[in-house]
Amino acid sequence: MNRKILVSLVIVVALGVALYLKNRKTVPVHDQLIKKLDKVADEIVIVKPDKTNLKIVQDGEKWLINQEAFPGDKNKIDGLIKKIKDLDVVDIVSKKAFYTKYDLSPDKAIDVKLFEQGNLIREVVFGKKSSTNRHTYVRIDNRPEVFLVSGTFDNDFNKTVEDLRDKDIFKVEKDSINAFEVAYRGRKYNLFKKQEAPKVEPPKSPSDPAKKEDKKPEDKWVCQKYPQAKISKRKVETIISSFNPLRADNYPDLKKDKLKRSLASIKLKTMSKEITLNIHYQDKKEKKYIATCSESPYVFTLSEWMAKKFFVKKIKDLKD
């Protein structure tokens, strides 16, 4: 073969290889090591250095925490799983088992495991943050390497049961409440909703018919004990809007049957059910009120400003 032709062929092949290497998508080494998580987790186990471990299991649409089966906050727990699935690995820091310097030893690290139907589908051990506080050192799926991932996770997974419990006690739209009873220190007021008929315009002349205003009937609140009192719609809605939803501050370790009679109570009536909220006493140390509700098996607390919304001392407290 002519030498010039041979040289030309070598150059063409070399250029072709160079062009291929330049244009192909290079797969990072860490992407080759870690499989993409495409399964749906139904259990999450968080093992922490302080031994306050969490086991969160899906039950239908709900998440239940630990053996007590406390209802969990769905949005928060779904968020934790998403953070595991969306880990952004940016580098391999070490291929040797030197974990202490990265706080990846059991006495420092947080170990998070995801399961699907009892099968482990992902494990991430979170160590310390990088010097820039923008990345975190982790181990993934029991591999020996130390990876660097984007973001920080100490506030995400270092949670208590209290942090992840569902704080919604119940939820009722204010427009669905037809009547309610509010009681405080022996005084009780029953209010019910009625609709006012639309106003009628007087005829402008004897030949003109009376005309109704083009307005829908408005809801009016009436007190059974004081039917002539002009009850403030604004003040009533300040009370009943608190139930969309009513959220607990926290859950103290108290039993319902051990509580004394209530300081205040409110009973709501809708077309489908009746709900009772009882406020028992104030925890002066925490400055919160101890409460119970027919919609929850747990004792919970309400903030001072929230509880005092239901303290109706006199009928004038409900009037304009």
pLDDT per position as a tens digit, 297-311? 999 999 999 999 999
Q: Are residues 37 and 152 in the same domain?
A: yes
Average pLDDT over residues 58-63: 95
- pLDDT tens sequence across 209-230: 655 555 677 788 999 999 999 9
Q: Provide the residue range defining the domain that includes 174.
A: 168-196+215-318
Q: How many domains does the chain have?
A: 2
Assigned domain for 3 exists: no
Q: Are strands 246-247 and 218-223 parallel, antiparallel or unpaired?
A: unpaired
Strand order in the sheet with 62-65: 70-71, 62-65, 54-59, 43-47, 110-116, 119-129, 135-140, 146-150, 89-94
Q: Are residues 132 and 190 in the same domain?
A: no
Q: Are residues 116 and 183 in the same domain?
A: no
Assigned domain for 74 exists: yes
Q: Are residues 181 and 303 in the same domain?
A: yes
Confidence of residue 37 (pLDDT cuts 50, 70, 90): confident
Q: Are residues 140 and 183 in the same domain?
A: no
SS3 call for 18: helix
